[in-house]
Chains A and B, each alone.
Chain A
Amino acid sequence: MENYLYTALFAPLVSSLFVALFAARPKMLITGIIASLLIATSMVASFVLLINVNTYGPLHVTMMDWIAAGNLEVPFGFVVDEVSVIMMVTVTLVSTIVHVYSIGYMDHDKSFNRFFSYLSAFVFSMMILVMSDNFVGLFIGWEGVGLCSWLLIGFWYERHSASWAANEAFIMNRIADLGMLMGLFLIYWTVGSFQYDDVFASVKTMDPVLLATIGLFLFIGAMGKSAQFPLHTWLADAMEGPTPVSALIHAATMVTAGVYLVIRCGEMYTLIPDVGFAIASLGAFVAVFAASMALVNNDLKRIIAYSTLSQLGYMFVAAGLGAYWIALFHLMTHAFFKSLLFLGAGNVMHAMHDELNIKKMGGLYGSMKATAILMSVASVALAGIYPFAGFFSKDKILEVAFNEGAYFLWFALFIGAGLTAFYSFRLVMLVFFGEKEYVKYGLHPHDAQPFVIYAMLPLGLLAVVAGFLEHTFEGFVTRLLAQYEIHIAHGTEALLIAGTLGIAMSGIAFAVFMYKRGGFPKSWEESVGYKLLSNQYYIPKLYELYIMRPFTSIARFAWLKIDTKIVDFTVDLIAKIVYSTGQNARKMQSGNLSDMLRWMVVGMVVLLALALFYRPMA
């Protein structure tokens, strides 16, 4: 069984390293195929492990000792328990599909090989993140996905906007990582070990204030990775990367790492419900906040990015309120339909020659039937309509909020559901139905190659049926995670479900109705509200003005005044001193015997003086 673990873990690494050999060469189709095959191997191994864990229970493996310094002992250990195996299956499934899709998408790209190398490296880092059995391994995976995300967002690095977005993502992640590191330090200081087992065993006896601090710090780290407010601006800009990257990283895997962290530390967060409630409140805020920005955006991928942001908020609400298995469930279903949305968007972009403005599209249903159907399916799942997957998971979260008595949160999520339905179908209507705007630009769209569509089909299927796996899922995951009882009367529960369904369907109906008629009046675009939303509440501008500019001037000052004048000067001074000493001492070697004799006498005098004044004590 351990072999399956190692296969699942290291197949992506092998893929990445193998393809990296060809990274500088022009496109070689074989690299894509081999990469996809190896990731598929990892997926198969993950499924085997899923069955194994279901039958026999968790699997612990310690590969080797890594750090053994004094009292600090950190091994390379891996654990395959219920939570991590679900994550593994999700990650590898979506990764395999994205790899196959990329063979078609990156068809004409000159850096075809490099892309697969980075993509596989990302999968490897994510696997380390979810499979590690101690916080340090988690952190390694954490940083690894941050790095690979930087590499992938800035894949087309010749574009200034792309490299800027990559830097923004990485730097924001790093800022949040400081918080996570503080949390890790506190954990080590209190517990003395990084292993999950040890930490969770001792949290029960920890001082609540200390525990709250640790929980808060770890959540700060999660905030960066999962792009919660105020560290959210990088996610929208990260759409500069190729679409498969967005599908993999910014829908299914990396951004869910933060949620995974909170879920993993569930035993800790149940003891500090106030911090959990704060997390949930922030999540609800982000859910509505992001949805509002998606309402007016015209960029195809950005709408989907804001949608991801919003759904992450939902996940954090569930995790914050203690319903960890529900958060994990929503994570899984969201991965399926969101990556499907992104892949569909990729198809549309390809057909439209990388055009992103949805106002310039329309009526693509005729030429791209398969993509249109898949994207509609994904959007319906996202909106949360029965019997699609999103209904089960999202509805459960609303019930959780209601159950906890956090009616304000429930209301926010309720509104969010409506907004989600609206903007999803706004997207679908504007892209696939309505006027064929693209004709004005002389574009001739065609659907993607067949194998790409076939790759997307499993996701479509899962987006439809995954919801029915809810009870199996609950039974499986709650072996490890906390159970969550929902105590709402059946009548109220039915009312809630009906309400949520109602607002979702009305959102869809409203979108279809409005956009069939040609959309909203143009005058709305001049209003303050519209401007606020379309400029992302001017937050990026704020950041630039109050954080980036002062920091840049400090950095410039430090470079010119401190680094060049002081540090360089000191180093050069040392070199100059050595050199000039040599130059001056050279005069001693004049070759003149008389001089040499004088130096001899000087030495003798020095020794005599030493003998006289520094006699060793008798």
Chain B
Amino acid sequence: MYEIIAFYVFATLTIGMFGIVVMSSNALYAMSALAGGMIFISGFFFILDAEFLGVVQIVVYSGAIMALYAFGMMFFDTTRDVSEKMRSKKIAYTLSVISAILVVTILCAPLASEEIEAMYPSIDTVGNVQMIGVVLFTKYLVPFELAAIMLLVAMIAGIVLASKRMDEYLAMEENEIEYPKETK
């Protein structure tokens, strides 16, 4: 009972939030709506007994990623409304409607298969977090480590890209650094 109500509530809210992200002309509204949408997605994860993932979603997505976007937005001039001249709206909307219909049709078909066997079956007695821990650090160890390295690389790349000549600063003396003039 609760599940059904929760599902539909979250669904409506998520769709609404993401609708705002896509349609709004104000960047700030869009960003906030995105953050909200993320939170509701995590709600879905909680309904589906994926507690660890739900928390990770909130922390990483709504916390870190949205923070990144917020910092990014500070960089651009966002007080103005983003005026977009969209080309041929009709085609875009037609395409999305068609793709939506197709996807839903495909997915509505009864998923038949009795032979699907779970590779890493969940055990009901143990909690979700423990199970994820077991699977993550035994069977998915290599992807885990690789993901870690990838994050490290991304971090360094982000820093290097965004800062001013940071690759040179570490090797220069204080008096050699030229500070740039004020840009517009």
Could you tell me which A residues sit within 8 Å of B by CB distance?
594-595, 598, 601-602, 604-605, 608-609, 611-612
Contacts of B105 in A (CB 8 A): 612
Tell me whether B96 and A612 are in contact (CB under 8 A): no
Tell me whether B95 and A602 are in contact (CB under 8 A): yes
Contacts of B98 in A (CB 8 A): 605
A570 to chain B minimum Cβ distance, whole angstroms, is 36
Contacts of A605 in B (CB 8 A): 95, 98-99, 102
Contacts of A612 in B (CB 8 A): 102, 105-106
Asked if B119 lies at the interface with its beta carbon under 8 angstroms from chain A, I say no
Tell me whether B95 and A601 are in contact (CB under 8 A): yes
B16 to chain A minimum Cβ distance, whole angstroms, is 23
Residues of B95-111 whose CB lies within 8 A of A = 95-96, 98-99, 102-103, 105-106
Tell me whether B102 and A608 are in contact (CB under 8 A): yes
Size bin of chain B's contact surface: 10 to 19
Tell me whether A604 and B92 are in contact (CB under 8 A): no
A611, closest chain B residue (CB): B106
Contacts of B92 in A (CB 8 A): 598
Tell me whether A609 and B102 are in contact (CB under 8 A): yes
Known: A608-B99, A609-B102. 14 other contacts (CB 8 A): A595-B87, A598-B95, A601-B96, A601-B99, A602-B95, A604-B99, A605-B95, A605-B98, A605-B99, A605-B102, A608-B103, A611-B106, A612-B105, A612-B106
- 23 residue pairs A–B, Cβ–Cβ below 8 Å: A594-B87, A595-B87, A598-B91, A598-B92, A598-B95, A601-B95, A601-B96, A601-B99, A602-B95, A604-B99, A605-B95, A605-B98, A605-B99, A605-B102, A608-B99, A608-B102, A608-B103, A608-B106, A609-B102, A611-B106, A612-B102, A612-B105, A612-B106
Contacts of B106 in A (CB 8 A): 608, 611-612
How many angstroms between the C-alpha atoms of A598 and B96 in the bound complex? 10
How many angstroms between the C-alpha atoms of A609 and B100 in the bound complex? 11
Could you tell me which B residues sit within 8 Å of A by CB distance?
87, 91-92, 95-96, 98-99, 102-103, 105-106
A608, closest chain B residue (CB): B102
Contacts of A611 in B (CB 8 A): 106
How many angstroms between the C-alpha atoms of A601 and B102 in the bound complex? 12
How many angstroms between the C-alpha atoms of A270 and B95 in the bound complex? 85
How many angstroms between the C-alpha atoms of A598 and B91 in the bound complex? 9
How many angstroms between the C-alpha atoms of A510 and B91 in the bound complex? 105
B92, closest chain A residue (CB): A598
A613 to chain B minimum Cβ distance, whole angstroms, is 10
How many angstroms between the C-alpha atoms of A601 and B106 in the bound complex? 17
B102, closest chain A residue (CB): A608
* B96, B99, B102, B105, most chain A CB atoms within 10 A: B102
How many angstroms between the C-alpha atoms of A102 and B167 in the bound complex? 93
Contacts of B87 in A (CB 8 A): 594-595
How many angstroms between the C-alpha atoms of A601 and B95 in the bound complex? 7
B113 to chain A minimum Cβ distance, whole angstroms, is 11
How many angstroms between the C-alpha atoms of A595 and B87 in the bound complex? 9
Contacts of A609 in B (CB 8 A): 102
Contacts of B99 in A (CB 8 A): 601, 604-605, 608
